[in-house]
């Protein structure tokens, strides 16, 4: 095919315009995907740390995890803590007492059997005697050793940060 110079220039300009349009469309698609991801992140963040709304005013209404099982008509409030080792047993009792009024209110409002499950692991991996039973009450598979390892790694991370600041 033999193009005259003005026609060849015209074809090249058309091809460049088409390429620019394709690039603009790709950029717009990428921007739309980024906006969708941001919206999803905002939705997830809004769902995190939400208060349980009740008829009565209850100040302790933000457990770490709420599992609502409509089929079995149960609601499980799970609160996790990693206290100093000497406070592990005390912290477990504190968590149960802290959410008792919320649990009573959930039973009254939602007509579900409510249980409170504290998951307490000491900062150096010490576990309470009731941890195995508490983990058995939570749906899914849970390994105490990996929970202990996570607590110890978190503690060592904090200690490293503190020592770096003082150095």
- Tens digit of pLDDT for each residue in 94-126? 999 999 999 999 999 999 999 999 999 988 888
Q: In the predicted model, what is the mean pLDDT of the chain?
A: 86
Give how far Cα 84 sits from Cα of 90, 103, 119, Å: 10, 27, 14
pLDDT recorded at residue 47: 63
pLDDT at 80 > cutoff 60: yes
Q: How confident is the model at residue 145 (pLDDT cuts 50, 70, 90)?
A: confident
65 forms beta bridges with 78
CA distance linking residue 166 with residue 135, whole number of Å: 38
Q: Give the 3-state DSSP-derived string for 2-14, with helices as H, strands as E and coil as C.
A: CCCHHHHHHHHHH
What pTM, to 2 d.p., does this model score? 0.66
pLDDT recorded at residue 123: 87
Q: What percent of the chain has pLDDT over 70?
A: 92
pLDDT recorded at residue 42: 73
């Amino acid at each position: 095919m033999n193009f005259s110079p003005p026609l060849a220039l015209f074809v090249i300009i058309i091809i460049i315009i088409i390429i620019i349009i394709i690039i603009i469309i790709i950029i717009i698609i990428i921007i739309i995907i980024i906006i969708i991801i941001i919206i999803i992140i905002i939705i997830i963040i809004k769902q995190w740390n939400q208060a349980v709304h009740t008829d009565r005013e209850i100040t302790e209404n933000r457990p770490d995890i709420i599992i609502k099982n409509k089929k079995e008509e149960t609601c499980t409030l799970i609160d996790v803590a990693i206290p100093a080792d000497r406070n592990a047993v005390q912290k477990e009792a504190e968590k149960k007492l802290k959410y008792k009024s919320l649990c009573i209110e959930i039973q009254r409002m939602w007509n579900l059997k409510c249980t409170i499950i504290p998951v307490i692991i000491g900062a150096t991996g010490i576990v309470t005697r009731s941890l195995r039973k508490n983990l058995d009450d939570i749906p899914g598979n849970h390994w105490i050793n990996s929970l202990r390892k996570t607590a110890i790694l978190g503690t060592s991370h904090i200690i490293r940060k503190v020592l770096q600041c003082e150095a």
